Structure 1
């Protein structure tokens, strides 16, 4: 059809809508919101997780990919021993705090080349739990409500994190992590290839910028929260709180909301991070030197507590954190094996983990029927949290095999 140059179209609502409708086909003013896709809470909390079994030679070939002094138990055994329970809709993940294990001087960090199947070693590992979500995720908003995490104490290495198989090619996001008597939370990314972090709006102080696992012994691009209530003993004294991780093509962000400070939309199940008044602990922006879409794929959610591990392969951290002086023992492994009562507070209590993903539409998502809403309890009086030394970041982790030597670099989760 050929139009005269003076042809005009009447500006009716229908005609205007034809010109103004985006090429995506969504209505004008369409917004996206976060829709709940998975709810890890209630009596069936553990049904959505796989239990890492140290005695099964699987993808890693060793009892603990982080070379910890630990035996992770399968679900049935863990539940028989009371290490994985749900009471009043709160999931609890414990370590064995009752049994004293054998230990010989040949097993110390300085004398012993780590081999999980060494007969003497197998009698010395402390039992614990490591759970990994059956489902994998690509971009999500993860909101975790923790009532308790392992205390800041010598020997423990707890973490709440996400990783993909094969590691490190699919990436790793550490939301909660600390070593021994750390008093503040560490957040980090680890990547399978070169990645220089571009930090955005945040409240934490960056401690490193290179996320590549081969750089600086897999330190990752690490930041430390400046609040003692963000981790361990201080976290527990305050009644816990909410950790939030938002992962998009443009950025990865982490927030921490101490108990009683979570935005109302988190508690109602309709989260809108863009409207939160609190800056995130950290923002990692995608950039030419670090593409989020390229480096982070198919991630699982993980909660675990290990002991000692590759962060202390030569015993250095045991000394620098004051644990040698505190315990009177030169070996982290010996302390873990011989002192079950020291780990009474080495447990997680999880009120729920909810995973949301972006959904396009004009209305907010309905709150699920009979949702599990976290009540903000009053915090009982507790003794003041003692000052703890700040844990410096040191070489971490090794790539395991049947017989593992202490390498120059490396990490596997």
Structure 2
């Protein structure tokens, strides 16, 4: 290629914004997915009826598998669960990020009565460094909710997205919202979550996190943009996002050092507390009874991931490790939710209510395969420890119970659904 042609190409790329993002991390490359994550294997602080397994135990029980093209994370489907709960997996990336474009291609997600799966990102010293809930729900939920949780001083506008605004204050102690509600945008399409998501072969969730906004797109299988498939994603060509978190919020100060989390828990403070208000109650008197005694019911409670990639801006200096293990804040084991933690309040809610559960111009010549050699750190597993060594304060049952059912109803979204109901 002549120099003039090359120069023209570079100018064209920089002016059109094509190939705006370059690959920083490909988590499935070389089949080493789990070496880039830490396994949480202690009690679930959200009171889930779950026995999280370490990597060795998960491998022995065939709960995990990984290749360069697919990763699966399952739950035990063979045994009546012990009193500790049903065996499952929760993992947190060893690496943290300060911005990025996170692309998840999942062909299957956990579904079914009693399940509470989530794919999310979270920072240290919760809530000061923020949390992004990308996929989350419980039981037979049919559409996805996307939520941010922050310290004070972050609110969002009701514009620029196709979803429906449920709550607009991201602060976890916002006076006019339920405790830990955060700011939430709800999807309405059933293919964004649950059985319909799986029946369609899943799709791609793309989360763009810049210093001005956090945007989430969902592309169902068969409608994934070619630039994502090619490895040169260009969000400016994707149209209006499903969720667009922007407004009176300093994104760069409220979201820092976020790590990626997958988990599947059962029952607990959300799925368990709304059990009696939905169709799942027809299967057993309690969530725990159902989850404990029906192992075969969880054959669909697994993650199947085709790709997890993080793209960054050219010239961005990556945060190559998780935040320091000396962090002393307290964390929970799952994304914060808007559901009440007392059975009395939650049982009064109709089953139709739902709860809540990221990069600039570059040419292909500077794209690179990730040279990940992260070492898992030894974290202080104490308190309500989050699996990656960060912590956050869990709301007490009494504090959560203080929110009235009417306050909860104000920030819960009434979804369209298939069948008897959402839960």
TM-score when scaled to structure 2?
0.70
Bigger-Rg structure (1/2): 1
Matching residue of 1:72: 52
In structure 2, list runs of 5 or more residues that go unmatched. 1-13, 316-359, 371-391, 403-423
| Alpha-carbon distance between aligned partners in 2 of 1:225 and 1:29, rounded to the nearest angstrom | 34
The structural deviation recorded for 1:405 is: 4.5
Distance 1:88 1:291 in 2: 37
- How far apart are the structure 2 equivalents of 1:297 and 1:362? 22
Q: Confirm or deny that 1:33 pairs with 2:32.
A: no
Q: Distance in 1 between matches of 2:369 and 2:211?
A: 32
1:147 is displaced (CA, Å) by: 1.1
Conserved 8 A contact 2:103-2:207: yes
Q: Counterpart of 1:304 in 2: which secondary structure?
A: strand
Tell me, in whole angstroms, the C-alpha distance in 1 between the residues paired with 2:57 and 2:232: 37
- Higher strand proportion (structure 1 or 2): 1
Question: Do the aligned residues in 1 keep the contact of 2:32 with 2:67 (CA within 8 Å)?
Answer: no
CA drift of 1:330 comes to 2.3
The residue number in structure 2 matching 1:92 is 72
Q: Does 1:244 align with 2:199?
A: no
Secondary structure, counterpart of 1:306 in structure 2: strand
Q: 1:67 to 1:257 in 2, by over 3 A?
A: same
1:47 to 2:35 alignment: yes
The farther-off stretch of 205-214 and 178-187 is 205-214
Contact 1:255 1:282 in 2 (8 A): yes
Is 1:189 the counterpart of 2:169? The answer is no
The corresponding residue for 2:254 is 295
1:102-152 Cα deviation digits (max 9, x unpaired)? 5xxxxxxxxxxxxxxxxxxxx34111101111100001000110011012x
Q: Which runs of 5+ in 1 are unaligned?
A: 1-27, 55-62, 103-122, 372-397
1:46 Cα offset (Å): 1.1
Of 233-242 and 85-94, more deviation after overlay is shown by 85-94
Q: What does residue range 191-210 of structure 1 map to in structure 2 within 5 Å?
A: 191-210=150-169
CA distance in structure 2 between the partners assigned to 1:354 and 1:362 by the alignment? 18
**Structure 2 counterpart of 1:279, from 231, 240, 244:** 240
Distance 1:312 1:30, change over 3 A: closer
Q: Secondary structure at the match of 1:183?
A: coil
Task: Report the equivalent of 2:100.
Answer: 140
Alpha-carbon distance in 2 for matches of 1:369, 1:250: 26
Other-structure match for 1:13: none
SS at match of 1:99: coil
Alpha carbons 2:114, 2:271 under 8 Å: kept:
no
Contact 1:34–1:272 (CA under 8 A) maintained in structure 2? yes
Counterparts of 1:352 and 1:80, CA distance in 2: 24
Cα pair distance change 1:74/1:359, threshold 3 Å = same
For residues 253-402 of structure 1, what are the structure 2 equivalents within 5 Å? 253-276=215-238, 278-287=239-248, 290-312=249-271, 315=273, 317-324=274-281, 326-327=282-283, 329-359=284-314, 363-366=362-365, 399-400=393-394
CA distance in 2, matches of 1:204, 1:144: 19
SS at match of 2:214: strand
Shift of the alpha carbon at 1:279?
1.4
Shift of 1:319: 1.6
1:83 lines up with 2:63 in the alignment? yes
| Corresponding residue SS for 1:181 | coil
Provide the rounded CA distance (Å) in 2 between the counterparts of 1:351 and 1:222. Answer: 27
Taking structure 1 as reference, are residues 367 and 269 closer, same or farther at Cα in structure 2, changes over 3 Å only? farther
Counterparts in 2 of 1:341 and 1:406: CA distance versus 1, 3 Å? farther
Shift of 1:237: 0.4
Contact 1:147 1:240 in 2 (8 A): yes
Distance in 2, matches of 1:218 and 1:44, equals 35
Distance 1:162 1:409, change over 3 A: farther
The secondary structure found in structure 2 opposite 1:341 is: helix
Query: Counterparts of 1:196 and 1:29 in 2: how far apart (Å)?
Result: 33
Tell me the CA shift for residue 309 of structure 1.
1.6
Alpha-carbon deviations, 1:341-380, whole Å to 9, x = none? 1111000001110101111687522486899xxxxxxxxx
Secondary structure of residue in 2 paired with 1:359 = coil
Tell me which residue corresponds to 2:133.
Answer: 174
RMSD across aligned positions (CA): 2.6
Per the normalisation by structure 1, the TM-score is 0.72
Asked whether the 8 Å contact 1:156–1:308 carries over to 2, the reply is yes
